[in-house]
Amino acid sequence: MTSEDVRNEARKKLKGICGVYRDCDGLPNRICQGQSYGGTLGIGGIGAGYSFSNNVKALANIHFKMRLISSHFTPDTSTTIFGKKVSMPVYGAPVTGVNSFGGEDVITEEEFCRATVLGCREAGSIGWRGDTFTYTLEKSFGLNAIKEADGWGIKICKPRDQETLKQFIKKAEKVNAIAVGVDVDGCGSFAMAAHDKPVYRKSIADLKELSDSTELPFIIKGVMCVEDAEAAVQAGTDAVVVSNHGGRVLDHTPGTAEVLPDIIAALKGKILILVDGGVRTGYDVLKMLALGADGVLVGRDIVRAAVGGGIEGVRIQMDYIKKTLSRAMLMTGCPSVKDISKNILI
């Protein structure tokens, strides 16, 4: 199976939902985009989709300095996160809920979670698993997949009520998950609201209560401004993810690569800073790392890989990202991840 085989299969299965275009850019003429006026959100962006497309545009506007004259080297893409060695600082984002991209006729929730977690593990990376309206404490396929992978996964929850969140955290501990966290931008979740599943804005005190409830590293995902980044530090988080939820909770936000530098300036050296949004290749990954991120999450391309090829499809996609990251590091003079800096950008 090749990457092209995976994409062709995904294109057939996702007909009418996602075009599996060569450029997943969120432009208005794409199948997934445009105002739905109360209809199902699908796999695109909320509203007119500007937040989704802004993620891609922000990365496209960043350029590399090609630097070639030095001793030859083979780039080392490996790094660590929360004490775990990984093949690259790139992870499968916690996109969850097959109902968002075609329902169980395309892929079951169980298959999707297994593909993401086990496929990322085969590629030497980590699959993150999220939360959706069909999940309960008794029925959480993401945690089941992490358990099957001997704990090799990270669990992120929607901002449900505090007691439910603490119980999900305890379940993550029992399956030996690497880390756990809350998707604070999930308070604007289209799917949760449409199915009357309450989610809430969270205060610093709320988040600190959750962070203090576990010995696992705690992550706050959905940070898009310095104020929230500083509040996350006050809450005792170990990491933040700069994210606008793939453009799926609020239209007309900047791209994540636009807000990332200010958040880096405020938090660098205090906690881990990860980012998602518009990342499709290793070139995109290198841009985010050069801006100062410690790691990058990939969402929509992992969905398509899981639909088109299951566990093997996800492994192939992650290997492709690693290959293009290595190529980009070679051409910009970065022998290892620690050598990546803003000096390689123009």
**pLDDT for position 39:** 73
* Average pLDDT of span 49-54: 96
* Average pLDDT of span 40-62: 93
* Average pLDDT of span 321-336: 98
**pLDDT for position 131:** 95
The mean of the pLDDT values for the chain is 95
DSSP state of 183: E
All domains in the chain, ordered by first residue: 79-344 (3.20.20.70)
Tell me how far the alpha carbon of residue 250 is from its chain's centroid: 17
Least confident of 10-19, 204-213, 292-301: 10-19
Give the predicted TM-score (pTM) of the model: 0.96
Show the tokens assigned to 88: 């690259």
**pLDDT for position 191:** 83
**pLDDT for position 42:** 84
For residue 38, pLDDT over 80 is answered with no
For residue 317, pLDDT over 90 is answered with yes
How do residues 166-179 score in pLDDT, each as one tens digit? 999 999 999 999 99
For residue 109, pLDDT over 70 is answered with yes
The strand pair at 79-81 and 84-86 is best described as antiparallel
What whole-number distance in Å separates Cα of residue 13 and Cα of residue 262?
40
**pLDDT for position 105:** 76
- Which of 125, 40, 137, 131 lies closest to 91 in space, CA to CA? 125
